[in-house]
């Protein structure tokens, strides 16, 4: 019956993804070959191509499987508006590092460090969660740079932290770097001086208004876009 065939295909897909995840966890990224996964899952290699298209498709499926709970937890934290946005960002940073250290093979495959031409779907999903966190900081008037710059810096620093720690044997890892590097990045990006310099005050005001502009009442879409262009121009002028 069609329903039985679909269930069988879903079962095979789940078995292949599970086998690939185990290989990654036990033997690292080098073990994730089509032949190795097929053998571990008890299927023929063409089955993997039929279900996933290619190795990248399989990696995406494994990443989705392993990261489902992780990404859901990050999104839940963003949705909790009672959290202080800086505390929320620190919690997300720690969770990101913990996931990378717990899943080194998968992290290497989904990061750009693995030589991918495009970021993985899992990476894109994580960046969108980070984007929401950064927007909360901007809306609270805490950013000293624009949102795009803050997003890029935090993402790059978080990825670098994981990769730097993974380069060392477990016993030699200095986990104090996790909070130390967060504090260094946050100190550059976040406004903490109660009486900042004039340029800092102006930058913070522009960034905050840019974050709130899409929700300003009484403006048309065209007017909001124009305001965004003006604010971008003003921010560039302050930075010169």
Sequence spans of domains, the chain: 1-53, 59-138+147-191, 193-240
Which residues, 6+ apart, have CB-to-CB distance to 128 below 8 Å? none
Residue 154's pLDDT band (cuts 50, 70, 90): very high
Task: Record the pTM.
Answer: 0.69
**Tell me: the pLDDT tens digits for 15-47?**
999 899 888 888 887 888 888 999 999 999 899
**What percent of the chain lies above the pLDDT cut of 90?**
31
Among residues 122, 112, 21, the alpha carbon closest in space to that of 74 is found at 122
Longest dimension (CA), the chain: 72
**pLDDT given for residue 83 in this prediction:** 75
**Tell me: the pLDDT tens digits for 186-216?**
999 998 654 445 556 677 778 888 888 888 8
| CATH no. of 1-53 | 1.10.10.60
Which residues, 6+ apart, have CB-to-CB distance to 199 below 8 Å? 238
Cα 3 off chain centre by: 36
**Tell me: the pLDDT tens digits for 68-95?**
766 665 565 545 556 789 999 998 899 8
């Amino acid at each position: 019956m069609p329903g039985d065939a679909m269930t069988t295909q879903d079962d095979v897909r789940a078995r292949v993804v599970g086998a690939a995840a185990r290989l990654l966890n036990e033997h690292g990224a080098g073990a994730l070959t089509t032949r190795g996964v097929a053998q571990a899952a008890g299927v023929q290699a063409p089955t993997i191509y039929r279900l996933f298209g290619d190795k990248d498709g399989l990696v995406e499926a494994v990443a989705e499987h392993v990261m489902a709970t992780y990404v859901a937890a990050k999104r839940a934290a963003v949705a909790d508006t009672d959290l202080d946005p800086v505390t929320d960002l620190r919690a997300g940073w720690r969770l990101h590092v913990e996931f990378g250290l717990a899943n080194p093979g998968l992290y290497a495959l989904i990061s750009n460090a693995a030589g991918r031409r495009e970021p993985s779907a899992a990476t894109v999903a994580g960046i969108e969660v980070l984007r929401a966190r950064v927007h909360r900081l901007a809306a609270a008037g805490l950013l000293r740079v624009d949102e795009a710059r803050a997003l890029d810096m935090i993402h790059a620093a978080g990825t670098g932290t994981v990769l730097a720690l993974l380069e060392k044997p477990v016993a030699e890892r200095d986990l104090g770097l996790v909070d130390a590097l967060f504090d260094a990045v946050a100190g550059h990006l976040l406004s903490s001086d109660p009486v900042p310099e004039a340029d800092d005050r102006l930058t913070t005001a522009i960034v905050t208004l840019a974050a709130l502009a899409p929700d300003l009442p009484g403006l048309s879409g065209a007017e909001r876009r124009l305001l965004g262009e003006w604010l971008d121009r003003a921010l560039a002028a302050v930075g010169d």
